[in-house]
Amino acid sequence: MPLDHEALQTSWNRTRGHLDAARVHLMGLPNIDLSMTLEFLEHNELGLALDCLVDLGDDLDLPLPFWQHLDRAAREMRLYSDALHKPHLTAADLCRRHLAATTEKE
């Protein structure tokens, strides 16, 4: 099956939009360095950018929209189905846990 480059670009754009929207929640917070995340985004390494954002947000009490955007990015990249084949926790797994916990609080 040939790759549909237009569909792929559209998917990347949606994913990037979700990652950028999540990143906004971290901007201006003390001791948060977003340079690595930005570098990954510049090189279209969207999965690595997601990993960075989840890692940065893991110990912070961030609002539900932060985790919702990361969840949407993970879904767009189909990371949840890939996570079933990995023996360790992935960024997508951590995102799903934070999303559930934050939803319960609200």
CB-CB contact of 57 with 26 (8 Å) = yes
What was the pLDDT predicted at 97? 82
Angle formed at CA 73 by CA 68 and CA 79, multiple of 5 degrees = 115
In the predicted structure, residue 16 carries a pLDDT above the cut 80: yes
Main-chain phi, psi angles of 90, to 5 degrees: -105, 170
Q: What is the pLDDT of residue 85?
A: 59
Q: 38-53 pLDDT, tens per residue? A: 999 999 999 999 999 9
User: pTM for this structure?
Assistant: 0.80
pLDDT of residue 42: 95
Q: What percent of the chain has pLDDT over 90?
A: 60
CB proximity list for 37: less than 8 A, separation 6 or greater: 19, 23, 49, 52, 53, 56
